[in-house]
Each structure stands twice: as structure tokens, then as C-alpha cells.
Amino acid sequence: MQLHINTYGTYVHVKDQMFDIRLREKDGQIKSTPYSAQKVTHIIMATGTSLSTDAIRLAMQNNVDIVFVEQDGDPIGRVWHSKLGSTTKIRKAQLEASLSAVGVRWIKSWLLTKIDNQLQFIKDLKKHRPQHADFLNDKLARLEALCVSVNTLDAPRVADLAETLRGLEGTAGRLYFETLSYVLPPEYRFNGRSSRPARDAFNAFLNYAYGILYSKTEKSLIIAGIDPYVGFLHRDDYNQLSMVYDFIEPYRCYADEVVFRLFSAKKVNKTHTSPLANRNGEPGATLNAEGKALLVTAFNAFMDDDPIRHRGRNLCRSHVMQLDAHQFANELIQKSERAKD
């Protein structure tokens, strides 16, 4: 169970060894809702909310991840229990891979999986939209050509082909989002990706969904013993979760599909977003409480209640991410040990 605390003024504390969420309602009454610490896996705290140190201690005792996010869903930081389950060996192997051809192989694999997922999503859209067949076929052909281009790249280090990879990835993303916009109902169409703030409702929902996914990705890496700050393709700038940005790529389709489903089913309306201008005064949009509730409910169900086939097993998508993170860590160690023999 995940607790998303995003209503301004909400306070999380401990009562009878349970998380107790307190909120003052419009009539002045205090609403108190208890949750068992054994059933909670995450507590997501948005700005404008608060929690007690006793609640933090109870979370640490029960291996509950506490994540702090902006109101638009971007992660700020987290409180994590001390038993990371990681080893120095994994992180050394990760650093070695970031400077060798091992990192090239992983980055190519993640980007190819991301583009392949985009291709599959468009193919699924095509099944039910024969009127758009010509448009969709053109986009599919161009994305398939980009896959070939990525696959043929090779270098001893990621740095030697980083700009080329970013260019190919950016082109794939542009083609993909052009396609999603094209097949949406006219009132929901958008003009490319945008953030800080989003220029439209679709991007506002997508940005918040990516924020949730960043948090899930970071946790999966930490549990597997991977350093979230040592990336292969994304730069290791100060306090930047470079490996999170690398590893998340194959799973972005999870967020894309949830948001697209909400819009194509016309479950989103003007009551789910609020206006938000950027620094230049240009108009934008951000999710309000109603929009966040709609998205979080749909996203959690998609990640945890709708299993998919993965490596011969039926697994929920959250478990798929964790399993892949462990496989990544194990292969890093094995590759490093073989190189030393």
C-alpha cells in the first residue's frame, strides 16, 4: 500500500503503532485515518504536508520508503532505512562499467528496449484505428530505422557516442509523442513534450507520472545495491540521479500507457488541472488534488494489480523493475569478475 500525502496541511504521526493521517476539513473538524505500518510500503509526501519523527522511526522499523516530492510529482529526496542490501563489489563494478564497453552495451540495450516498447504501443494503437494506418505506418517505419541506427553503434566507452545516442533517442521521442497526440481526441492533443511547467494537461499528467516512476526506479536500484548517482549516459553532475535517468528508460512506457488510457477514455477534464505560468509568464498547467488522485489510483493499479508475462512468469510491473535491477547488479559483478580472470 502506498500513502500519497498531497493535501496541504495534512499531518502524519503515530498512534497505537500505526500511521495516523490527520487533516482539518472545511468545517473545522479533524479527520483521522489510521494505517497499519505492516501494510504500507511507501509514504509519498508532497510539499505543504508534514510528518513527525515518530512516524519516520516507525517507517524505518518497517522498511517503509518515505519520498518527498514537489507538487508536480518531481522527487526532492527520500528517507531510507539503513539496511540497503548493497555491496561495495556491486558499486565498484558499476563504476568500472561506466568507463568501459560494458556501459555501452547496457545503454544500447535500455534505449533499444525503450524504442521497441514505443513501437509495440503504436502497433497496439493501430489495431483499433484503421483510419490512421498510413500515418502510423510511417511513424513505425521511422522508429524501426532508428532502432537499426542505435544497434549498429559501437565504441569502447559511452562518452564516445553519447551525443549520437541522445540525438537518436530525442528523434524517437519526438516521433512517438507526435503519434500519441495525433490519435488522441482533438480536445486533448498537444504539441510535443513540455515541463516546468507543462504547457497542457497531457504533459502535466505525464510529468507527474514520470515523477512517481523516478521514485520507484530509485528504490529498485537501491534495493539491488546499485548506486543511483553513477550513470552511464546521463552526466554525473552534482546531486543528479544519473543511473535513475538511465535505468528508467525501458519503463517510461508504463507512465505513457497509464496517461494515454486516461485521456483516450476521456476520464480527464478541466477540473483535474490548475493554471501555472512559467518564469516568463507563459501559461502552463499542473495537476491539482483531484488530478493527482485520478492518476495515482490508475498508476498504482497498473503497476501492482495488472500482471504481465516476464521471463516465463506472471509478475506485476513493480516486481519486473525490481527483478531487472537485481539482474543488472548480478551481471555487473559477473562481468567484472570475468574481466579480472
Q: Is a pLDDT exceeding 80 seen at residue 73?
A: no
Mean pLDDT confidence for 28-49: 87
Mean pLDDT confidence for 162-183: 96
How much is the pLDDT for 199?
92
- Spell out the domains of the chain, with CATH numbers in brackets: 2-79 (3.100.10.20), 88-340 (1.20.120.920)
How much is the pLDDT for 339?
61
Q: Between 75 and 209, where is the model more confident?
A: 209
Share of the chain above pLDDT 90, in %: 60
Mean pLDDT for the chain overall? 89
Own/partner pairs for 331-336, CB < 8 Å, 24+ apart?
332/90, 332/93, 332/94, 332/97, 332/102, 333/89, 333/90, 333/93, 335/93, 335/97, 335/102, 336/89, 336/92, 336/93, 336/96, 336/97
Q: Is a pLDDT exceeding 70 seen at residue 338?
A: no
How much is the pLDDT for 85?
47
List pLDDT tens digits, range 233-268: 987 655 688 999 999 999 999 999 999 999 999 999
Share of the chain above pLDDT 70, in %: 93
List pLDDT tens digits, range 78-133: 776 665 544 678 889 999 999 999 999 999 999 999 999 999 999 999 998 989 99
How much is the pLDDT for 30?
85
How much is the pLDDT for 168?
96
List pLDDT tens digits, range 149-168: 999 999 999 999 999 999 99
SS (H, E, C) the chain: CEEEECCCCCEEEEECCEEEEEEECCCCCEEEEEEECCCCCEEEEECCCEECHHHHHHHHHCCCEEEEECCCCCEEEEECCCCCCCCHHHHHHHHHHHCCHHHHHHHHHHHHHHHHHHHHHHHHHHHCCHHHHHHHHHHHHHHHHHHHHHHHCCCCCHHHCHHHHHHHHHHHHHHHHHHHHHHCCHHHCCCCCCCCCECCHHHHHHHHHHHHHHHHHHHHHHHHCCCCCCCCCCCCCCCCCHHHHHHCHHHHHHHHHHHHHHHHCCCCCHHHEEECCCCCCCCCEEECHHHHHHHHHHHHHHHHCCCEEECCEEECHHHHHHHHHHHHHHHHHHHHHHHHC
Among 7-11, 186-190, 233-237, 258-262, the range scoring the smallest mean pLDDT is 233-237
How much is the pLDDT for 234?
83
How much is the pLDDT for 77?
75
Q: Is a pLDDT exceeding 90 seen at residue 60?
A: no
